[in-house]
Amino acid sequence: MSQKRPQTTVILSMTADGKIADFRRSPSRFGSQMDKAHLEEQISLMDGVLFGAKTLRAYGTTLSITNPLLLETRKQKDKPLQPVQIVVSGSGNIDPNMRFFSQLIPRWLITTIDGANTWNTKCHQGFEKLVISNVNQGRQINWHNIFEQLYELKLSKLAILGGGDLIASLLEANLIDNLWLTICPFLLGGTTSPTPVEGIGFLSHQAKPLQLLTVKYIKQEIFLHYRLHP
């Protein structure tokens, strides 16, 4: 990577028809306990976990590491027991009363100048750090600048947990390196049901090529590990 930035890994589960939630965008519950354990293991390897405000609103909480073996491994590597949980909100419009803010985890907010003002107006606590985009274009975030800041803040590995709009923005900026995708044995359907990559989309000649690294089949789920080509 020419730019000094964190290495990023998207970690998602989806149905066999490519949906990450139903048409009401309810929290997805189709992943198995094995998939949850896989997610926790991958998160334990990270310095930070990145997700959008819509994802936070859907669940109200985030996944913290509870497996004693994973916690001990982080301790032996002199890492904080929990990676930083980083919410992305260009508007800064986040309910400070969500259970997320009572979890025993470090919390940061990625936002804009306008978003920082909105958050500070409603609540001065909840996030240990605000990482603010250096270009004030309403709610737009300058992702290259943000990633440079995260790297300077000693975050060298980031997990990206969604949603689809966030992943689309990072793909457009060529800031995603790896993808872990769990295919679960369910069908949801729905033209408005969200998919792993939302946004406007890419034309066929702009499609992001993937290199398949590993395939694991556990009971009824398939775990795919891809690397994105630059």
Give pLDDT tens digits for 127-149. Answer: 999 999 876 555 688 999 999 99
Indicate the average pLDDT of the chain.
Answer: 92
Q: Could you tell me the CATH superfamily of domain 7-228? A: Dihydrofolate Reductase, subunit A (3.40.430.10)
> Token pair of 50, please?
């990145």
Q: Determine the average pLDDT of the residues in 16-35.
A: 91
Beta bridge partners of 110: 88, 131
Whose tokens are 């406007």? That residue is 200
Q: How far apart are CA 91 and CA 57, in angstroms?
A: 14
Q: Where are the domains of the chain?
A: 7-228
Residues 6 or more apart whose Cβ sits within 8 Å of residue 199 = 164, 165, 168, 169, 172
Whole-prediction pTM: 0.93
> How many other CB atoms sit within 10 Å of the CB of residue 179?
23
In the predicted structure, residue 206 carries a pLDDT above the cut 70: yes
